[in-house]
Amino acid sequence: MDLQKYKNILFQNTKNKLTEWLSLNGETILTEEVYRFLHSIKGTSGTLQLDELMQISSELLSKLENEEIEKWRGIDLNAFLHPLVKLIYNYENSSNLVNLNGTVLNSSAPLIQIIDDDVSMLILLKDVLEEKGWMVITNTNPEIAVKQYFEMKPDCLILDIHLPQKDGFQILQEIQQHNEKYFIPTIMISINNNKETRIKAYQNGADDFFGKPIDMEEFVVKVNRHLQRKKIFDQSVLIDELTQVYNRKFLVDSLQRFFLDFKRTKQPFSISIVDIDFFKKVNDTYGHLMGDQVLRDFAQYIKRNIRSLDIIYRYGGEEFVIVFPNTTSEDAKRRLNELIKGFSQIKFTHNEACFSVTFSAGTYTVKDDFVTITEAFKGADSSLYEAKRLGRARVECLQLTPNAYQKNILNISVVDDDIIIRTLLAQILESITIDNIELNIKVFENGPSFLNSEHAKEDVSHFLILDGIMPVMDGLEVLQKVKQGKNAQKYKILMLTGRKSKDEIERALRLGADDYVTKPFNVTELQVRIERILNMIK
């Protein structure tokens, strides 16, 4: 018996009920009604051999039985039923998503930037490279692209020579003037594949050159090789050999960059000096090989448990420095206390002897223009001394005062006529936290409701996720109106487009979209992409 017809009916009925509930404004749903809904899904899905649907409905029923709630508000019910919403989305797009699940983007994936006004080539390269699990950002506008380059700090740049406004050689020169201390492989591409053009590309600092049409197999291999070279370079020049975290030399360069960024953005950041407690005793008792192991494990523990934008450096001996961008002293202290607690629970073993280690930390938060690198570092060092004086395994912070900083507001808008997608994206966004930033998230079912809202007009930084095709007003028209508005510079815009909508993608990029994602999207991968973009918004 072919069960597919009945499976489709069950999923459609489930979606209809979810759509009804997700659309509620101010109304409530009785718990017993939610229970009957889930109980019905569980029974029918089991009969139809839909194991994942049966498992999710069973887990939700179990949670529901432990909830002491008689009525559900719409917002709470949305969050509770999120696993079901996600499953409905995946089922509806299963035929298109099957090719997306082979290589899923992760938070540490290399970032590649492509600058090319040939949108067909740009789309092709993006698709091919993202199939390898790399994150790709694209742009056709040289001015916007250069700004994006410094904001996103890619691991590899792919740059077309023939661009509007300024050519690839001019862009490369501009980038190198401000980026001479960092190695970012650059691949230039051009329809002109003559000797003169290739020589000029190398003379201007390109690491590689491809003539169009591009041999994709060779191209992917070379991009991978350049990414490997960058990784080796970073490790050999900037990485401490023992602990495999950044070294003191790179710390000096980084602090200059952090101070320059602070003068531009006025976003406070924290410098923390951390020191392993009684490390000499570890060496004396268990030997230097064991001491080296403690240093390695400590550095890697910190690296694993800080955010991707935080950076740890080995300063010397058992001293390390952690820089927390966009972080107040309160947040730095909270995070360091969590790290101290976690690391103290790790057990080291040497010749059947078992021991644990703690560390102390001193933090200084840069929040004033007149503070110098030397003064900030001395402040963190004095705080570390105080932590040791007060008993170790603790954090001390200069300037630690309650409510020292008011969080900056970042408006986030999702504009999509599909309520399932709006709900999915809202749940993704609500799960994201960014230190010192308050995310003000709102969803809209069409362009006019967004454009006419106070949310869209507020003079604050704004991240907009915008569907390309919608009734009432096309997404591209919304994008154009936003870019013509007085707050256009405040916006970062991620377009959701059809899988092969070349014209739509081209118009979106030319109108000023910062990136695009094709529907259907992998939910996990989209979350990683959104987090990376949000962490770059100042």
Please say if the pLDDT value at position 108 is more than 80. no
**Is residue 503 very low, low, confident or very high in pLDDT (cuts 50, 70, 90)?**
confident
**How large is the average pLDDT for residues 494-498?**
87
Single-letter residue type at 46: G
d(CA 149, CA 170): 14
- Confidence band (pLDDT; 50, 70, 90) for 96? low
Q: In angstroms, how far apart are the furthest CA atoms of the chain?
A: 77
Which pLDDT band, with edges at 50, 70 and 90, does 533 fall under? confident
Let me know if 60 is exposed, middle or buried by CB neighbors in 10 A (0-12, 13-18, 19+). buried
Give the sign of the dihedral formed by CA 448, CA 453, CA 456, CA 457.
positive
Mean of the pLDDT values across residues 199-220? 93
pLDDT tens column, 241-288: 889 999 988 898 889 889 988 888 889 999 999 999 999 899 889 988
The per-residue pLDDT for 305 is: 95
Q: At what angle do helices 329-344 and 288-305 cross, to 10 degrees?
A: 130
Angle at 467 between CA 466 and CA 469, to 5 degrees: 140
pLDDT at 116: 92
So what's the pLDDT on residue 359? Answer: 96
User: How much is the average pLDDT of 292-314?
Assistant: 94
269: Cα separation from own chain's centroid: 19
Residue 403 has a pLDDT of 40
Percent of the chain with pLDDT strictly greater than 90 = 40
Domain 408-536 in the same topology as domain 111-238: yes
Q: How confident is the model at residue 152 (pLDDT cuts 50, 70, 90)?
A: confident
77, exposed or middle or buried, with CB in 10 Å at 0-12, 13-18, 19+? buried
- The CATH code for residues 111-238 is 3.40.50.2300
209 strand-pairing partners: 188
Each residue's pLDDT tens digit, 508-519: 888 889 888 888
Which structure tokens are listed for 487? 């707050």
Confidence of residue 370 (pLDDT cuts 50, 70, 90): confident
- Write down the CATH number for the domain with range 248-397: 3.30.70.270
* Cβ-contact 141, 510 below 8 angstroms: yes
Superfamily grouping for domain 408-536: Response regulator (3.40.50.2300)
**Range of lowest pLDDT (86-100, 223-237, 352-366):** 86-100
Q: How many CB atoms lie within 10 A of CB 49?
A: 10
Residue with more model confidence, 8 or 215: 215
Predicted local distance difference test score (pLDDT) of residue 45:
86
Give tens-digit pLDDT for 155-184: 999 999 988 888 899 998 888 766 555 688
pLDDT tens figures, 460-490: 889 999 998 888 899 999 999 999 998 888 8
Rounded to the nearest integer, the mean pLDDT of the chain is 86
SS3 at position 316? strand
CA distances to 124, 142, 170, 189 from 165, rounded to whole Å, are 23, 7, 10, 17
Please write the tens of the pLDDT for every residue from 237-253. 788 888 999 998 889 88
pLDDT, tens digit, 9 for 90 and up, residues 38-56: 988 988 888 888 889 999 9
**Tokens for 106?**
């992760």
Q: Is the pLDDT of residue 113 over 70?
A: yes
- The domain locations on the chain are 4-92, 111-238, 248-397, 408-536
- Pairwise CA distance, residues 521 & 524, whole Å: 9
On the question of pLDDT at 68 being above 70, the answer is yes
What distance in Å separates the CA atoms of residue 532 and residue 134, rounded to the nearest whole number? 13
Distance CA 144, CA 149 (A): 9
Rounded CA-CA distance 158/138 in Å is 10
**pLDDT the model gives residue 166:** 85
Tell me: the pLDDT tens digits for 5-35?
888 888 888 988 888 888 877 788 888 898 8
Question: Hey, what CATH topology would domain 4-92 get?
Answer: Four Helix Bundle (Hemerythrin (Met), subunit A) (1.20.120)
pLDDT for 394-422, tens place per residue?
999 876 433 433 457 899 999 999 888 88
Residue 371: the pLDDT is: 85
Lowest mean pLDDT among 189-193, 331-335, 429-433: 429-433
